[in-house]
Structure 1
Amino acid sequence: MSFATPSLSLGQVRWVGALEHPELLGPVVHEQLRAWQTEHPKLVQQVMACEIDPELSDTAVMSEHYDIPMDTSVNCVLVAGKREGVERTAAVAVRASTRADINGTIKRMLDVRKASFVPMDRAVEESSMEYGGITPIGLPENWRFVVDGSIDSDAWIVIGSGIRASKIAVPGSVLVALTGAEVIEGLGR
């Protein structure tokens, strides 16, 4: 079954259908999109990708250089805390124009005394993605994934692609539907 790839004009980049350009995706991201394509072809068809300079992949620099608004960009961070000696982790997506509320909403969500970002080397190793390209698509199945309530809409968001040399654009509601994300208000402040 074939569906038309949507046209997207966002920033100063050329957006293409993500599955049609696996070279723009990290291996685990491409694998996840292919798996979802069987069950959700219309949703996966809305996942777009663009090439960027990997030296410009940090969100603020990328947003400025490619004219992509910061409130359109979404960062995915891995956070963790312990409770009774058991580590609780979550991948958290918040708009780049906000900061993840680690010591408030996220700490309460994890039900831990103290939450913090997982160190970069561990996040890269466990996600099988490049630093600066970590994305909710293709995360390990045992990771809890939550998104800030402002992301669950039909508006386009820009996220990592698993590699530093590209970005993904997808309607926020499509990302939530594909990943089965928990939507929690106030993750970003």
Structure 2
Amino acid sequence: MRAPLGIFDRFDNAVPAPARLGQLSRPVAEAIAGWAGQVPADEILYVDTDPAIADTAEFVAHYGRELLGRSANCVVVAAKRGGETSLAACLVPSYGRVDVNGAVRRRLGARKVSFAPMATAVEATGMEYGGITPVGLPADWPLLVDAALTEMPWVLVGSGRRRGKLIMPGAAFAELPSAEVLPDLTITP
């Protein structure tokens, strides 16, 4: 029997993600199929959602504003230093934005950090824009995770595609490859 999901109980079609690998992008499906974290893979849930409302603003307008405090956005950033550019990902609560010019730049030791172009993010992750998730990212990328997310019982994130979302225990984010939990990653309005 699944633990109560609180505000996510409204998604009555939520099922363990290992049972829906075909609905996930290839890298996300591979990551879930090979999951070895302390949080069991069956506690990572997949919920089918309308791809037309995948973006955060449309999603919370449709499903309820209270989801804003229990969902996260994963963004790909390009860090530049000494003529070299490297990619990283940041996971922050949906109600805020990534502190790109402060916390991210300092942590990556970069001269300049910016959001990666959409085409770069899609090609490098193997995921659809608007569905990029921390699950299944390239293992050699730094993954910076806002500490507040790891303390939440459940968090809604992308599934690698615009159709569908994952609902994950917050503790699972700290178990992802190259994850580093930071207390100051999000700027809140």
Supply the distance in 1 between the matched residues of 2:39 and 2:71 (Cα, whole angstroms): 23
- For residue 27 of structure 2, what is the aligned residue in structure 1? 28
Residue by residue over 1:110-155, the C-alpha shift from the partner in whole angstroms, topping out at 9 and shown as x without a partner, is 1112210000011001100001110011111221111011111142
1:83-104, CA deviations, whole angstroms, 9 ceiling, x for partnerless residues?
A: 1122232110000000111111
> Which secondary structure does the structure 2 equivalent of 1:174 belong to?
helix
Partner of 1:185: 183
Q: Does structure 1 conserve the Cα–Cα contact (< 8 Å) formed by 2:5 and 2:154?
A: no
For structure 2, list consecutive stretches of 5 or more residues without a partner in the other structure.
none
Match of 2:50 in 1: 53
Q: 122, 127, 130: which is aligned to 1:124?
A: 122
In the alignment, is the contact (CA less than 8 A) between 2:140 and 2:178 conserved in 1? Answer: no
In structure 1, runs of 5+ residues without a counterpart are: none
Pick the aligned partner of 1:82 from 75, 80, 83.
Answer: 80
What displacement does 1:41 show?
7.5
Query: What one-letter code is carried by the residue in structure 1 that aligns with 2:32?
Result: L
Q: Residue type of the partner of 1:58?
A: D
Q: Distance in 2 between matches of 1:149 and 1:168?
A: 19
Q: Contact 2:70–2:152 at 8 Å: present in 1 too?
A: no
Provide the aligned C-alpha RMSD in A: 1.8
TM-score, normalization: structure 2? Answer: 0.90
- The two structures have a TM-score, normalised by structure 1, of 0.90
Distance 1:151 1:81 in 2: 23
Identity in percent: 37
Alignment deviations for residues 141-175 of structure 1 (CA, whole Å, 9 cap, x no partner):
22111101111114211110011110000111122
In the alignment of these two chains, the number of paired residues is 184
1:129 is paired with a residue whose SS is coil
Aligned mates of 1:32, 1:135 — CA distance in 2: 11
Residue 6 of structure 1 and its aligned partner are, at CA, apart by: 4.1
